[in-house]
Amino acid sequence: MSSLAELGDLRGRRVLVRSDLNVPLDGDRITDDGRIRASLPTISALSAAGARVVVMAHLGRPSGAPDAAYSLAPVAARLGELLGSAVAFASDTVGPSAQSVVAGLADGQVALLENVRFNAGETSKDDAVRGAFADELAALGDAFVSDGFGVVHRKQASVYDIATRLPSAMGGLVAAELSVLRRLTEEPERPYVVVLGGSKVSDKLGVIDNLLGKADKLLIGGGMLFTFLKAQGHEIGTSLLEEDQIPVCLDYLARAKEAGVELLLPVDVVVADAFGDEASAQVVAADAIPAGKVGLDIGPESSRLFAAALADARTVFWNGPMGVFEQAAFAEGTRAVAAALTTVPGLSVVGGGDSAAAVRQLGFADDQFGHISTGGGASLEYLEGKALPGIDVLS
**Residue 183 among known ligand-binding residues:** no
**Residue 117 among known ligand-binding residues:** yes
**Residue 354 among known ligand-binding residues:** yes
Cα–Cα dist 362/321, whole Å: 11
**Residue 154 among known ligand-binding residues:** yes
Q: Is 35 annotated as catalytic?
A: yes
Could you give the angle at which helices 353-361 and 376-383 cross, rounded to 10 degrees? 130
Q: Which of 64, 80, 95, 377 is catalytic?
A: 377
Q: Which amino acid is at 256?
A: A
Cβ-based neighbours of 150, under 8 Å, separated by 6 or more: 20, 22, 35, 352, 374, 375, 376, 377, 378
**Residue 326 among known ligand-binding residues:** yes
Q: Which amino acid is at 216?
A: D
Q: Does residue 119 contact residue 64 with C-beta atoms inside 8 Å?
A: yes
**Residue 60 among known ligand-binding residues:** yes
Q: Does residue 292 contact residue 280 with C-beta atoms inside 8 Å?
A: no
**Residue 81 among known ligand-binding residues:** no
**Residue 182 among known ligand-binding residues:** no
**Residue 371 among known ligand-binding residues:** no
**CB-count exposure of residue 91 (10 Å: 0-12, 13-18, 19+):** middle
Cα–Cα dist 369/310, whole Å: 14
Q: Is 198 annotated as catalytic?
A: no
**Residue 121 among known ligand-binding residues:** no
Closest by CA to 338, choosing from 307, 377, 300, is 307
**Residue 58 among known ligand-binding residues:** yes
Q: Which of 165, 190, 200, 304 is catalytic?
A: 200
Q: In whole angstroms, how far apart are CA 332 and each of 115, 270, 321, 343?
A: 36, 10, 10, 17
Q: Which amino acid is at 104?
A: G
Q: Which of 35, 155, 230, 293 is catalytic?
A: 35
**Residue 216 among known ligand-binding residues:** no
Q: Is 230 annotated as catalytic?
A: no
Cα–Cα dist 262/17, whole Å: 43
User: How many CB atoms within 10 Å of residue 246?
Assistant: 16
By DSSP bridging, strand 217-220 and strand 371-372 are unpaired
CA dihedral 98, 102, 104, 110 (to 10 degrees): 110
**Could you give the 3-state DSSP secondary structure of residue 13?**
coil
Q: Which of 34, 299, 353, 376 is catalytic?
A: 353
Q: Is 64 annotated as catalytic?
A: no
Cα–Cα dist 118/373, whole Å: 26
By DSSP bridging, strand 371-372 and strand 347-350 are parallel
In the annotated binding site for (2R)-3-phosphoglycerate, the residues are 35, 117, 154
Which residues are tagged catalytic? 35, 200, 353, 377
Q: Which residues are annotated as a binding site?
A: 20-22, 35, 58-61, 117, 154, 204, 295, 326, 352-355
The annotated binding site for ATP is made up of 204, 295, 326, 352-355
Query: Binding-site residues for substrate, please?
Result: 20-22, 35, 58-61, 117, 154
